[in-house]
Amino acid sequence: MPPAEILIPFFLATAAFAFMPGPGMLYAVAQTVALGRRAGWWSAIGFHLAGCCHIAAAALGVSILLTILPALFMTMKLAGAAYLIWMGVKYLRSPATCGLDDASLKHRTHGRALFDSFIVEALNPKSALFFFLFLPQFTDPTAAFPLWLQIAALGLAANMIFTVSDGILIETSQRIVRRLGASARVISCLQKIGGCLLIGLGLQLALSRQP
């Protein structure tokens, strides 16, 4: 593996990226506010799993397609944006979920949160480009391990740091929601706020310029 003089800057840079406010954090907040703490954690798991897919793609060199095929980048970006907006509209139109006492209904809600977050992150070309462009900078071609293995190991470490930052934000959001109360009216309002956040994220992604 790379020496300490490379790994220390890697962890510092990754931590800075992980705790920097961005779309991923807002998405975690939206899911927690709209569907509760468990949905927020399932969303974080979905992000983590999708991140593992991006890491595998970076280690295998597949992500380079996003830089040489602008049409592929644009297609992924618009698909991800449309999915976010659709989810936001769904939250705006759905009734308050404070009555989710049935175990099977909760399971479906949490499973949906996992699926939605995985799709959103998997369709985010900027995440793929991040892992592809960021991780190789901290590899050592002279190390005993091959480059693809170094990229995979560094990517898994970065992904875990991102998950920790998501968890901190989820717990913070949940404490705020609890203080606001659990009435149907409050929860309905929180769901609408979450829906608006998702629509805003989708529009921001759709309108953002290609790097």
For residues 45 and 110, give the distance between their C-alpha atoms in angstroms, rounded to a whole number.
11
Instruction: Give the range of the structural domain holding residue 92, as residue numbers without chain letter.
Output: 4-16+23-207
Residue that is written with structure tokens 């998405």 in the block: 27
Give the chain's domain count: 1
Q: How far apart are CA 13 and CA 193, in angstroms?
A: 32
Q: What's the DSSP call for residue 210? A: P
Q: How far apart (Å, rounded) are the C-alpha atoms in residues 33 and 37?
A: 8
> Cα–chain-centroid distance for residue 198?
12
Q: Rounded to an integer, what distance in angstroms lies between the CA atom of residue 127 and that of residue 131?
A: 6
> For residue 102, what pLDDT is reported?
42
Q: What is the pLDDT of residue 101?
A: 41
Nearest in space to 29 (alpha carbons), one of 151, 176, 140, 141: 176
Q: What is the pLDDT along the chain (211 residues), one digit of tens a residue?
A: 566 777 888 888 888 778 766 666 777 777 787 777 888 898 889 999 999 999 998 888 766 766 677 777 677 678 878 877 887 787 787 665 443 444 443 555 677 888 888 988 888 777 887 788 788 878 877 777 888 888 899 999 999 998 898 888 888 888 877 776 555 566 667 667 777 877 887 787 677 655 4
Give the separation between CA 147 and CA 9, rounded to whole angstroms.
18
C-alpha–C-alpha distance, residues 204 and 191, integer Å = 20
* pLDDT value for 105: 39
Nearest to 121, CA basis, from 60, 59, 201, 62: 201
Token digits of residue 76: 């992924």
